[in-house]
């Protein structure tokens, strides 16, 4: 029996997706890309102002966003 596939994966940014140095680890990046490649929608859900998101997207290599 296979595991159910989620309908959506949403993640906070600070302390969840990025570390204290504001970096996305290779492990986290690989996990996000695996989710995206599986066909499951992935979004960032954050209270950060939009101007603070481009560095996170650059680190992540993927640009989803939810408000």
Domain that holds residue 24: 9-60
pLDDT at 67 over 60: no
Q: Is 35 inside any structural domain?
A: yes
Give residue 30's pLDDT.
93
Classify each residue of 29-47 as buried b or exposed e, where b means 16 or more C-beta atoms within 10 Å of its C-beta.
Answer: beebeebeeeeeebebebe
Q: Is 44 inside any structural domain?
A: yes
Interatomic CA distance for residues 51 and 42, integer angstroms: 20
Q: Is 56 inside any structural domain?
A: yes
Q: Is 65 inside any structural domain?
A: no
- Structurally, the chain folds into a number of domains equal to 1
Provide, rounded to the nearest whole percent, the portion of the chain with pLDDT above 70: 91
Query: What's the pTM value of the predicted model, to 2 decimals?
Result: 0.76
């Amino acid at each position: 029996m296979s595991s159910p596939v989620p309908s959506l994966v949403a993640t906070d940014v600070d302390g969840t997706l990025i570390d204290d140095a504001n970096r996305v680890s290779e492990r986290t990046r690989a996990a996000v890309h695996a989710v995206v490649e599986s066909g499951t929608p992935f979004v960032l859900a954050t209270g950060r102002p939009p101007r603070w998101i481009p560095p996170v997207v650059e680190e992540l290599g993927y640009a989803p966003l939810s408000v």
